[in-house]
Amino acid sequence: MSKTKSIADLVTELQAENESLQSLKKLFNQACKNEFGYDVKALHDIIIKCERLEKKIYSAESARSAKSE
């Protein structure tokens, strides 16, 4: 049989899980700073800029190849 949990128990579990995840987030952020010299937000911004640059380069190459055909 499955035991139903009260709302209070579910809230308590979610709060504990949230605290654990927040702690892991801080640890990961610190590990990124130590390894790469950037925090997670900065790394995310760098990745987005690289993706935009790749799209721009790909578009320019596609336009050039279309003109040459």
Tens-digit pLDDT profile for residues 5-64 = 999 999 999 999 999 999 999 999 999 999 999 999 999 999 999 999 999 999 999 888
3-state secondary structure of 59: helix
| Domain map (residue ranges) of the chain | 1-37, 38-69
Q: What confidence category does residue 3 fall into, taking pLDDT thresholds of 50, 70 and 90? A: confident
pLDDT computed for residue 63 by the predictor: 86
Structure tokens given for 62: 């596609």
pLDDT computed for residue 67 by the predictor: 79
pTM of the model: 0.69
Q: Is 40 exposed, middle or buried (0-12, 13-18, 19+ CB in 10 A)?
A: middle
